Amino acid sequence: MKQFWSPNSISKNKAMVENLQSHGVITSDEVAKAMEAVDRGLFVPDRSYAYVDSPLSIGYNVTISAPHMHAMCLQLLENNLKPGMRVLDVGSGTGYLTACFAVMVGSEGRVIGVEHIPELVASSIKNIEASAAASPLLKQGSLAIHVGDGRKGWAEFAPYDAIHVGAAAPEIPEALIDQLKPGGRLVIPVGNLFQDLQVVDKSSDGSVSIRSETSVRYVPLTSREAQLRGE
């Protein structure tokens, strides 16, 4: 598969990561390495805006989050993204953050992306195939993207050490808490008009604690039909 990167895009991607480090958004070397390894330019429709710290439309009434939000989620999940761990990415979109997760957990881990727009699944797989860092993980099967209703999780490879949700739920889906491993962490935007990024930790005895990290603005986690109608 042709690698659609250039030295220019690599330097811009590195500068994006360094900017996030200088502003204290990225504090972990592992998160920085993953975001440097996965060129964001491969995962957005318009590469001229790929490295700007802003969300971008990817069609189907969906956006790819701004780089600082991706960095924040990677930081919040860092301890649950160690080599060999299992990750579920709900609303995987263009596949960018899914690829970052896969780079962090490596070939011994497993990352599942779930996206309910089939066209986005198909294009995200092409995006990943163009990434030198993520393509081998897709080929060997430790990274996979599926068409499905992410509100139901993906039971086949549960329980997960880390679950990330890229759209706002009116409340935390029970299926996602059920599929979280004891010691695992779920990061999910919750709310309708006003939303909080919530961090859900499951202890070894199965009890759950929830805290709000920050106010956010995400598209709603909804059905495929409602999303396409823009509801």
Q: Just list the catalytic residues.
A: 65
* Structural tokens at position 86: 């299992």
- 177 by DSSP, 3-state: which? helix
| Token pair belonging to 113 | 């992306």
The percent of the chain in helix, strand and coil, each rounded to the nearest 5, is 40, 25, 35
Question: Which two tokens mark 198?
Answer: 């919530």
d(CA 55, CA 90): 17
Q: What is the spatial distance between Cα 149 and Cα 223, in angstroms, rounded to a whole number?
A: 7
Contact call for residues 71 and 31 (beta carbons, < 8 A) = yes
The three-state secondary structure class of 191 is strand
Q: Which residues contact 30 (CB under 8 A, 6 or more apart)?
A: 78, 81, 104
Check if the beta carbon of residue 89 is closer than 8 Å to that of residue 112: yes
Q: Rounded distance, CA 187 to CA 165, Å?
A: 6
Distance of CA 25 to the CA centre of its chain: 16
